[in-house]
Amino acid sequence: MEATTSLLDAAAVGDLVLLDPLTEESLLHTLQERFRHSDIYTYIGNVVISVNPYQSLPIYTPEKVQEYHNCNFFAVKPHIYAIADDAYRSLRDRDRDQCILITGESGAGKTEASKLVMSYVAAVCSKGEEVDKVKEQLLQSNPVLEAFGNAKTIRNDNSSRFGKYMDVEFDFKGEPLGGVISNYLLEKSRIVRHVKGERNFHIFYQLLAGGSAQLLQQLKLHQDCRHYGYLNRESSGLPGMDDAANFRAMQDAMRVIGFSPAEVTALLEVTAVVLKLGNVQLSSSFQASGMEACSIAETQELQEICQLIGLDPSILEQALCSRTVKARDEMVRTTLSVPQGYYGRDALAKNIYSRLFDWLVNRINTSIQVKPGKQRKVMGVLDIYGFEIFQDNGFEQFIINYCNEKLQQIFILMTLKEEQEEYIREGIQWTPVEFFDNSIICNLIENSKCGILAMLDEECLRPGVVNEDTFLTKLNQLFATHKHYESKETQNAQHVMDASLPSQCFRIHHYAGKVTYNVTGFIEKNNDLLFRDLSQAMWASQHALLHSLFPEGDPQKVSLKLPPTASFQFKASVATLMKNLYSKNPNYIRCIKPNETKTAMLFTPELVLAQIRYLGLMENVRVRRAGYAFRQLYDSFLERYKMLSPRTWPRWTGSHREGTEVLLADLAFPPEELAFGHTKIFIRSPRTLFDLERRRQERVAELATLIQKIFRGWRCRTQYQLMRKSQIIISAWFRGHMEKNKYKQMKRSALIIQAYARGWKARRAYRRYFRSGASTRLANFIYRRLVQKFLVGLARNLPPLLVLDRTWPPAPYKFLADANQELRSIFYRWKCKKYREQLTPQRRALLQAKLHASELFKDKKALYSISLQQPFQGEYLGLTQNPKYQKLHAVAKDKLVMADTVRKVNRANGKAVPRLLLLTTEHLVLADPKAAQPKTVLSLGDIHSISVTRFSDGFLALHLKETSTGGAKGDFLLISDHLIELVTRLHQTLMDATAQALPLHITDQFSTRFPKGAMAITVVESDKVGSNIPVCKKRGSNKMEVLVH
Ligand SMILES: Nc1ncnc2c1ncn2[C@@H]1O[C@H](COP(=O)(O)OP(=O)(O)O)[C@@H](O)[C@H]1O
Ligand SMILES: [Mg+2]
């Protein structure tokens, strides 16, 4: 928000009241300058002047709405939103009904302005489902009314062809409740005729372009505009206007407002009827009487119309072609001429359309009206056609300009009134000022006795010959000396030569300029007659809507009274409007059209100057300045200017008024320049205000410099302090870091030095012992390496695991010899152990026996080495197989250890006889081989010892104990083929049985004991005997030689 926007903006002052000097040129220049800067809004006090930019400006955004919402009117750039906000707040907060009067030429932007006001109010008032619905309905009334009431004119592509006044009603909280729309004087002549380059009302083009094929068929319409006489048989093309889209928007809007589909259809049907009426062609025919009459040239269109409205075509045909007139209490039907017929047709079309438009407005009103009984505040928005000065001005222009004249009157009166009231309110003395009061013109037109309108009505109602000439003559008589009235006649009377004023015309000096009106058509338009037959025909139709539009067509209600004239109606409605406006607080938006060509941002000074004049802007400014040019509430004034006095700056503690007084006293303005009201300060001339503003600007600049200076100083200081603080922190950290690094370095160096020193010391001490131990260490190391290598090598090359293989690698070094030997025996023992573990018990026993044999005989007896190869079989006889030995078997039982054949040496002669020998675990049995009968059974315990020779013979002596039972026979001398086995087993068995070793003598000489005494036995080596069979020779009685080899 530009709170400090200067009121003296160099480009142009935002408020023209402050213009100095005030001339037309300066005013025009200001507007132009502002326009050039896209400032299209300018104030005169609280009146907004809006210059149409003809291009969309970015000043209507939601952000802008926010900016102007609750703003200070004079603190922000002039804007239509500012005035809307001011009005809305005044309505809401001060409970004052408002009206917003928007005036200006056609195309100056009135309708846009009214929409902006509405949308602003809608945007700022509160939200809620119900409120939104109401808002939407109010806003959506625009597209509907625009479709039916707007048309393209040369000046404006979307020109409103009716006057509109809309009352928006609010509740006490400022929430919209609904509204009422009033419409004024629809330009219905446009229905039947319009200038080339303009168009008929939008709705026709919209319907044809946007209606679906089905709808058009239903309405019996052709899509092509060129088909229709009322559309000038031209194509619709209008750049920048999408008729089809607008049609859809209009339909949507109707839905939002609450039109039922049936209502919409009925509305469009009546619209179609109007369009089709224009195509009803009449042709002349002659009656039997010879009178010229008219008839329908082509009945197709007429029939279609009648189908649409549910009417007998003949009724309509009759109504169009003839007329009933009352002649002496009798109704007489007369035929019409073709022009009369066309007149009737066009009048019907115009009437249908204008009544339809009224119905439309009423229908919208029923939707948006507020339920009675609610307390409400009203904001009225008036968007009415502006002052019109054409080349050829007719009745419509006269009426329109009359309305504008009235608005100007209300403007002057209310501006002044307000001004006056304010002075009274504020307790200020008021000296009236001169200004142009246009009531004289208003009076000229509307005076009920001798005003122009009254004269017109009089002429219309007067019996006898009535035409425009008589009317003009009457005017000339009446206003011959009127300052604001002129005609050829009055000019002639005053000897004025004026070629611009034709004789059929009169001229009125309106406040906005002189306008010449042509009286042609005044009477007819004022009468606005519709033949009764036509209204009755319409009333007779089945179409409910159309029927309702023509209540006077009811034959029961036929009255002879003529309907009120157009001017009468208009005057009445203007009077109502004025009354309405007087009761409200007015806000003005005065629209200016900057060029005739609708060109964006083009400013034609002459054109604008003309509008400045007829809008009376200069007067507006003057009126505003007549008293005091400027006024402001004390608090805002003090706030704005308090810096101009050291006593009020920077803070004033007293009341605002006192502050203002002190302030202005300090500034020493002449006292007549100022007036102190109750709540406001008034400043008479703009110059004073400018002076104030200039001083303020200077002071603001000074203050700004001061603030800047202090701020810059403060900023630099704080920045410096911050930098300094930072610098200290940084340098502290940096120094700390440096020192830390240095310390670390020193510590590292000290450690290194220390380490060196310690090392040096240690080395020196160590060196003394170093050499003594070195050789042992080295040798140990080498030994260990060698041993390791030897063991690893050994593990890799172990000899085969055979028991009999005794190979073993030699020790590689001498010092390993013992260990190698040890390892070898360990390995061998381990090999044997392994071997033993895998032996069967039999084999084991056998080997044990063999071992035993070796213990007994190895290296002692030659036979041993021979016996090595022989396995110990034990059983040589086959006791079990041979049945002969059954007895022996029984003796042996299962305790048999050995059974063999031996030879027994006879003691007497030394001869040897075969005997069977059985060795059991308990006995030794000798048996006769033939009988197989035991001869001798010796208990093992009886055996005392055994003697054998050294040689390889099988001789053995079995010495018995003297006490034994068998001992009686004496010792036995035996020869066995398996001596080694026999002795070994005997020895073993005895050992097992008695745990005593059997004494074994290996000797060459021994004695035996026989019953006949002892006998010495000598072993003699002899070559004569066989290898293992000894020969015993008796030498004497108690000597015996045993020859062995
Ligand atoms: N404030 C505005 N910003 C942009 N264009 C505008 C503005 N006011 C009016 N116009 C343009 O001028 C045209 C005529 O305005 P409109 O309000 O219909 O004129 P009026 O109602 O006075 O005859 C609009 O169609 C629009 O193009
Ligand atoms: Mg308009």
* C-alpha of residue 258 to centroid of ligand 1, in Å: 28
Confidence class for position 4, pLDDT limits 50, 70, 90? very low
pLDDT at 10: 42
The number of residues making up the chain comes to 1045
pLDDT at 594: 94
CB 382 within 8 A of CB 375: no
Q: Residue 137 and residue 639: Cα distance in Å, rounded?
A: 43
Lowest-confidence range among 373-377, 470-474, 522-526, 727-731?
373-377
Q: Residue 971 and residue 942: Cα distance in Å, rounded?
A: 11
Helix/strand/coil (H, E, C) string of 918-935? Answer: EEECCEEEEEECCCCEEE
Answer yes or no: 726 catalytic. no
Q: Residue 450 and residue 478: Cα distance in Å, rounded?
A: 8
Answer yes or no: 111 catalytic. yes
* C-alpha of residue 162 to centroid of ligand 2, in Å: 8
The more confidently predicted of residues 205 and 1003 is 205
Q: Please indicate whether residue 910, judged by its CB atom, sits closer than 6 Å to ligand 1.
A: no
For residue 685, the 8-state DSSP code is -
Mean pLDDT for the chain? 87
Token pair for residue 671? 């006292």
Q: Residue 312 and residue 295: Cα distance in Å, rounded?
A: 16
pLDDT (mean) for 861-876:
84
* C-alpha of residue 710 to centroid of ligand 2, in Å: 55
Q: Residue 147 and residue 205: Cα distance in Å, rounded?
A: 9
User: Which of 34, 40, 54, 56 most suits a substitution to test ligand 1, by most atoms within 8 Å of the C-beta?
Assistant: 54
Q: Please indicate whether residue 591, judged by its CB atom, sits closer than 6 Å to ligand 1.
A: yes
pLDDT at 209: 93
CB contact set of 134 (below 8 Å; sequence gap of 6+): 176, 177, 178, 368
Residue/partner pairs of 82-85 with CB below 8 Å, 24 or more apart: 82/48, 83/46, 83/48, 83/117, 83/587, 83/589, 84/116, 84/117, 84/120, 84/121, 85/120, 85/124
pLDDT at 3: 37
Q: Tell whether the model's pLDDT for residue 9 goes beyond 60.
A: no
* C-alpha of residue 149 to centroid of ligand 2, in Å: 10
Lowest-confidence range among 405-419, 539-553, 652-666, 724-738?
405-419
The ligand 1 atom nearest the CA atom of 158: 18
Token pair for residue 979? 């001596």
pLDDT (mean) for 629-648:
86
For every residue of 841-904, DSSP letters joined together read: HHHHHHHHHHHHHHHHHTTT-HHHHHHTTS---SB-S-TTT-GGGHHHHHHHTT-EEEEEEEEE
Which residues share a beta bridge with 927?
Answer: 916, 934
- Quick: pLDDT tens for 225-260: 999 999 988 887 778 889 999 999 999 999 999 999
Answer yes or no: 447 catalytic. no
* C-alpha of residue 157 to centroid of ligand 1, in Å: 9
The more confidently predicted of residues 6 and 1018 is 1018
The more confidently predicted of residues 889 and 497 is 497
User: Which of 52, 116, 164, 590 most suits a substitution to test ligand 1, by most atoms within 8 Å of the C-beta?
Assistant: 52
pLDDT at 560: 63
- Quick: pLDDT tens for 834-868: 888 888 888 888 888 888 888 888 888 888 888 88
pLDDT at 965: 64
pLDDT at 414: 78
Confidence class for position 879, pLDDT limits 50, 70, 90? confident
The more confidently predicted of residues 605 and 19 is 605
Q: Please indicate whether residue 240, judged by its CB atom, sits closer than 6 Å to ligand 1.
A: no
Q: What is the dihedral of CA 737, 743, 746, 751, to 10 degrees?
A: -120
Answer yes or no: 386 catalytic. yes
Q: Tell whether the model's pLDDT for residue 967 goes beyond 60.
A: no
CB contact set of 258 (below 8 Å; sequence gap of 6+): 137, 367
Q: Tell whether the model's pLDDT for residue 477 goes beyond 70.
A: yes
Q: Among 518, 490, 508, 519, which residue's Cα sits nearest to residue 438?
A: 508
Q: Please indicate whether residue 106, judged by its CB atom, sits closer than 6 Å to ligand 1.
A: yes
Percent of the chain scored above 70 by pLDDT?
96
Which backbone phi and psi does 1007 adopt, to 5 degrees?
-115, 150
CB 943 within 8 A of CB 959: yes
Which residues share a beta bridge with 102?
Answer: 383, 589
pLDDT at 789: 92
Confidence class for position 435, pLDDT limits 50, 70, 90? low
pLDDT at 255: 95
Answer yes or no: 659 catalytic. no
CB 139 within 8 A of CB 176: no
Q: Among 512, 513, 511, 443, which residue's Cα sits nearest to residue 478?
A: 443
* C-alpha of residue 133 to centroid of ligand 1, in Å: 27
Token pair for residue 299? 């009945």
pLDDT (mean) for 985-1005:
86
For every residue of 962-1026, DSSP letters joined together read: TTSSGGGG--EEEEETTHHHHHHHHHHHHHHHHS-PPPEEE-SEEEEEETTEEEEEEEEE-SSS-
Task: Give me the sign of the Cα torsion angle 728, 729, 730, 733.
Answer: positive
Q: Among 261, 289, 183, which residue's Cα sits nearest to residue 574?
A: 183
Q: Tell whether the model's pLDDT for residue 783 goes beyond 80.
A: yes
Q: Please indicate whether residue 952, judged by its CB atom, sits closer than 6 Å to ligand 1.
A: no
pLDDT at 431: 66
pLDDT at 1: 33
Confidence class for position 782, pLDDT limits 50, 70, 90? very high
Cα distance between the two ends of the chain: 155
CB contact set of 486 (below 8 Å; sequence gap of 6+): 498, 501, 506, 507, 508, 509, 514
Amino acid (1-letter code) at residue 20: D
Q: Which helix (H) or strand (E) holds 635?
A: helix 634-641
Of all protein residues, whose CA lies closest to atom 24 belonging to ligand 1? 109
Q: Please indicate whether residue 108, judged by its CB atom, sits closer than 6 Å to ligand 1.
A: yes
Q: Tell whether the model's pLDDT for residue 730 goes beyond 90.
A: yes
